[in-house]
Structure 1
Amino acid sequence: MKKKKFLTLGVMLLLILSTILAACGGSDDKDSGSKDNASGGNSAGSGGEKTLVYGRGGDSVALDPAVVTDGESFSITGNIYETLVSFGQKDMTINPGLAESWEPSEDGLTYTFKLKEGVKFHDGTDFNAEAVVKNVERWKASTDKFPYYSSQFTVSGEHVIESVTADGDYTVVFKLSQPQAPFLKNIAMSPFAIASPTAFEADEEGLSTQPVGTGPFKFVSWVRNDAITIEKNPDYHIDGLPKLDKVIYRSIPENSARLNELLAGNIDVADGINPSDKATIEGDANLQLIERPSMNVGYLGLTVTRPPFDNVKVRQAVNYAIDKQTIVDAFYEGLAEPAKNPMPPVIAGYNEDTVGYEYDPEKAKALLAEAGYDGKEIELWAMPVPRPYMPDGQKIAEAIQKNLEDVGIKSKIVSFEWATYLEKAQNGEADAFLLGWTGDNGDADNFLYTLLDADNIGSNNYTFYDNPELHKILVAAQTEIDEDKRNELYKQAQEIISEDAPWVPIAHSTPILGASTKVVNYSAHPKGSDRLVEVDLQ
């Protein structure tokens, strides 16, 4: 339709008056608007909606914390859900969460939690002791579906949590089948967040795409491989929080593209920044550099059930073949140190005396000859997304490929979409694969038992490594309350793992993020996924 060529005089006068008033009362601040979309950043002015746009390297796998193992999923679920006890804002100390207090028995077999009252799930369901019981019973009923429950709360197929019962509406009692030294650290982990029983009883599978927790933010939408949007929970049980109205998590796989979006002001925070781009961020007056405390390991896994890595001498040869120092210098830019153990030095029980494997191609060649290696080409899997422990999986794979070629091991680099990569590696389909781990709870058990014990084959032990002697030590360490004795057991475990060489530990990194200077109160947590409950935009 054509526009009318004239307006009535009264309407024209009204429009003129409105324009004058808007000019008098408005602001020339270009940052006063709010952008509710996945393509732009936001800095809310007075009275405007505060939307933070967060750029990350990959999409989430699912949004049910009980079923996932990847950090990109936990970065979202940690803001939608809450756990009974929580870690500190910047460290791994245990703090109240949905439980206000807790009391362990003298024998370490019973934990009684007093729950916070007046809390509701996002769907209106009351949070109470019965909700906790139903969540734990859900985890126990299908351990094959919940890899973290299997890793942290089963030993040799037996449940560590013997029972959980409600004692009134706001007291819940856990009875354990054996003492577990890291029990509180375990229950504070993201996979053990409490979901609405109404939601998972109605549609358990649906919880992966329609999460329902008690957290500071509620789920809004998910466009796969593009953006996830969450918004402020107006009924959050802590007054005055969260400070943001909305968060949009954008998936931007290319590190350089993510940095460019940050530089252009289209996103407010960029995770997974290349170490080589540190100077660029520090040199921009509109940006701030945020360092995440190191609690991780990046590694090359060798699936011990697949030739040629079913031969320990071939695995040891690969450890000697890889020039870890050069990889760290080339790709981590001083923000990492070469690794020799499967856990970082900041974790209690780290074995400083482990000899490890120096870069020695000649030793590698000799071991391959002793093993009778046939020269058959292997597949070398490269991570498709940047992670804190692995800033550029493709380039690191290329460096390793050259190291292997130098000692006579031919390899073909392959990769998959992130969720597929994890699933296929978990199923033992890789020959050698790049991966890593950021600690969930600051305990050695979360690295050694979770990643390398036979109990966790099919969950977090992707190499299918199985050593009965190691298993006995790790189970003993779980039940040992004396910290000095526990640490000695973990040191023994690291010696065994080093000798058997199911991994090539590559690096312990200090991950960096970039953010607009308008982002305040941002705390980068050691466990790799950040709660945004106190973050604000100024």
Structure 2
Amino acid sequence: MLKHAVIPFLVGASLLASAPFAQAASNLVFCSEGSPAGFDPGQYTTGTDFDASAETMFNRLTQFERGGTAVIPGLATKWDISSDGLTYTFHLREGVKFHTTPYFKPTREFNADDVLFTFNRMINKDDPFRKAYPTEFPYFTDMGMDTNITKIDKVDDHTVKFTLKDVDAAFIQNMAMSFASIQSAEYAAQLLKEGKAADINQKPIGTGPFVFKSYQKDSNIRYTGNKDYWKPDDVKIDNLIFAINTDASVRVQKLKANECQITLHPRPADVTALKNDPKLQLIEKPGFNLGYIAYNVRHKPFDQLEVRQALDMAVNKQGILNAVYQGAGQLAVNAMPPTQWSYDDTIKDASYNPEKAKELLKAAGVKEGTEITLWAMPVQRPYNPNAKLMAEMLQADWAKIGLKVKIVSYEWGEYIKRTKNGEHDISLIGWTGDNGDPDNWLGTLYSCDAIGGNNYSMWCDPAYDKLIKQAKVVTDRDQRTVLYKQAQQYLKQQVPITPVAHSTVNQPLSAKVEGFKVSPFGRNVFSGVSIDQ
């Protein structure tokens, strides 16, 4: 992963902490929990990265309605699907302008060339821009889109046709996801000519509601409202500022002091006080998420099923739920949340049984005192409000069955990069659904294609993969459900993960904020949001 350069910050960070600045007309400060690794949505998979890029500065051909799961037109006004389900023709919106910044001034409006550049760069490793700036597109490849899209044709300046190898029942939903954000082909050509292709990740250009201004790592990101946005009623903020702080209690204090007007992931212990503060509002929603433990099956002894079963049955889930989630969650037994269609509610957990776990470890040849590493996230996520505490509780649980657990952590971007590389023994991780389709869980997180991406268990099983691939090419929901339930049962038997909890999402914000909608996909979207100063 490319280390990002710091773009000069235009206004001192101290201004962010001052009430007069936060109260200035048409300014909104968002207390974010972490620094993005970059601003090219195609390269990343986390909500932290997508909030700072895709959801502020970019659009996609199709988009999800704010606060919902329905797909609506975006940069495509409509689309046609062939009778065999293999050809998608998108009719592009006219009059859409790319951002004008000190580093790029577009000479034309959005057209088909931008769509071709965006996707050909992800598909073709010999694409000139890809060769000038070698990078990977993990989400795109995790979903097999790099091999399933066989051809993209420019029919005319405002019509593009995608041809697929196999039917993809979730293709339109997938095109609405953050990684599919449309880039400017003209800007890319400028960067290529200047020998600065990597700047696409540090000096972003999109068509979205906000324009990038500056970034100071671990401090802030500044944007201005896009006065030329094709949906002008959605831009109600002149200046949007991400104030970055990894400490949930500090974020809450800033919210109470009106130093920011929206924050996220409060500690469960703070929720009651937030509810009772007349200057604040707290939106509470069932979480479309899963916090889980991933066992790296490429590291011994986790390649043995008995070892994974032992670790799984030694986890005191109820204790974790009580201490970590503090009433703001429910026990998870399955590889996706119960609100996802095709969820198999017949699946049950193995009973909590440390003694049986000890026997399994002994039978697998794992000696008492064996050392293992457990990686704990450094940030609060919707699916895990306190990974450090969870790790300490797991350390105690697994000590009872004779294992010596070392807890490891890194800065968030580094944590993600290293776990995708498979450097961990066991990692705490999780997921918030991105498009409402079961494949976004069962394929994106646990398939062979997702190794090196979001498959943190490095688990690849042909029998499982066959089921989820069959389900993806069937358009009948009942038939897909049968296959997905079989896949869930198989995955539960093989234990590449231990599901821990689905958390309730508590979204605190100032009572002055209007129009903010909680995304079921865990995104923070500021289009359509205003603030009563």
Report the TM-score when normalising by structure 1: 0.90
Distance in structure 1 (CA, Å) of the matches to 2:37 and 2:18: 24
- 2:174 is the counterpart of 1:196: no
| One-letter amino acid matched to 1:440 | D
| One-letter amino acid matched to 2:148 | V
- Tell whether the 8 Å contact from 2:26 to 2:239 is kept in structure 1 after alignment: yes
Q: State the partner residue of 2:288.
A: 295
2:205 corresponds to which of 200, 207, 212 = 212
Q: State the partner residue of 2:8.
A: none
1:80 corresponds to which of 46, 49, 57 = 57
Distance in structure 1 (CA, Å) of the matches to 2:274 and 2:298: 44
1:219-234 residue pairs with structure 2 within 5 A? 219-234=212-227
Question: Aligned-pair distance for 1:94?
Answer: 0.8
- Tell whether the 8 Å contact from 1:287 to 1:515 is kept in structure 2 after alignment: yes
- Tell whether the 8 Å contact from 1:42 to 1:52 is kept in structure 2 after alignment: no
Structure 1 stretches of at least 4 aligned residues deviating more than 3 Å after TM superposition: 40-45
Distance in structure 2 (CA, Å) of the matches to 1:150 and 1:230: 30
Distance in structure 2 (CA, Å) of the matches to 1:36 and 1:175: 51
Distance in structure 1 (CA, Å) of the matches to 2:44 and 2:285: 22
1:267-346 residue pairs with structure 2 within 5 A? 267-346=260-339
Question: Aligned-pair distance for 1:465?
Answer: 0.2
| One-letter amino acid matched to 1:307 | K
Question: Aligned-pair distance for 1:43?
Answer: 8.7
1:516 corresponds to which of 507, 510, 521 = 510
Pick which of 416-425 and 121-130 moved more: 121-130
Pick which of 144-153 and 449-458 moved more: 144-153
1:50-449 residue pairs with structure 2 within 5 A? 50-77=26-53, 78-123=55-100, 124=106, 125-142=108-125, 145-154=136-145, 159-201=147-189, 202=191, 203-375=196-368, 376-449=370-443
Pick which of 36-45 and 92-101 moved more: 36-45
Q: State the partner residue of 1:12.
A: none
- Tell whether the 8 Å contact from 2:233 to 2:528 is kept in structure 1 after alignment: no
| One-letter amino acid matched to 2:295 | L
- Tell whether the 8 Å contact from 1:44 to 1:50 is kept in structure 2 after alignment: no
Provide the identity percentage. 37
Question: Aligned-pair distance for 1:44?
Answer: 8.2
Q: Deviations over 1:223-253 (max 9, x none)?
A: 0011111110010011333101111111111
Question: Aligned-pair distance for 1:513?
Answer: 2.0
Q: State the partner residue of 2:4.
A: none
Q: Deviations over 1:477-535 (max 9, x none)?
A: 11011111101111111111111111111111112121111111110101111221111
Question: Aligned-pair distance for 1:216?
Answer: 0.4
| One-letter amino acid matched to 2:140 | Y
| One-letter amino acid matched to 2:414 | T
Pick which of 135-144 and 344-353 moved more: 135-144
Quickly say closer, same or farther: Cα 1:41–1:326, change in 2 above 3 A: farther
| One-letter amino acid matched to 1:382 | A
Q: CA RMSD in A?
A: 1.7
| One-letter amino acid matched to 1:160 | N
Secondary structure of the structure 1 residue equivalent to 2:110: coil
Question: Aligned-pair distance for 1:131?
Answer: 1.1
| One-letter amino acid matched to 1:480 | V
Question: Aligned-pair distance for 1:198?
Answer: 2.2
Secondary structure of the structure 1 residue equivalent to 2:312: helix
Quickly say closer, same or farther: Cα 1:413–1:118, change in 2 above 3 A: same
- Tell whether the 8 Å contact from 2:33 to 2:247 is kept in structure 1 after alignment: yes
Quickly say closer, same or farther: Cα 1:370–1:108, change in 2 above 3 A: same
Quickly say closer, same or farther: Cα 1:36–1:524, change in 2 above 3 A: farther
- Tell whether the 8 Å contact from 2:234 to 2:529 is kept in structure 1 after alignment: no
Residues paired across the two proteins, number:
499
Distance in structure 2 (CA, Å) of the matches to 1:223 and 1:293: 34
Question: Aligned-pair distance for 1:355?
Answer: 2.0
| One-letter amino acid matched to 1:206 | D
| One-letter amino acid matched to 1:197 | A
Distance in structure 2 (CA, Å) of the matches to 1:358 and 1:87: 40
Pick which of 202-211 and 524-533 moved more: 202-211
Distance in structure 1 (CA, Å) of the matches to 2:180 and 2:218: 25
Question: Aligned-pair distance for 1:373?
Answer: 1.1
Q: Deviations over 1:309-341 (max 9, x none)?
A: 111111011110111122112121222111111
| One-letter amino acid matched to 1:195 | Q
Unpaired segments of 5 or more residues in structure 2?
1-12, 101-105
Secondary structure of the structure 2 residue equivalent to 1:167: strand
- Tell whether the 8 Å contact from 1:56 to 1:272 is kept in structure 2 after alignment: no
Q: State the partner residue of 1:454.
A: 448
- 2:487 is the counterpart of 1:493: yes
- Tell whether the 8 Å contact from 1:426 to 1:459 is kept in structure 2 after alignment: yes
Question: Aligned-pair distance for 1:41?
Answer: 5.5
- Tell whether the 8 Å contact from 2:143 to 2:450 is kept in structure 1 after alignment: no
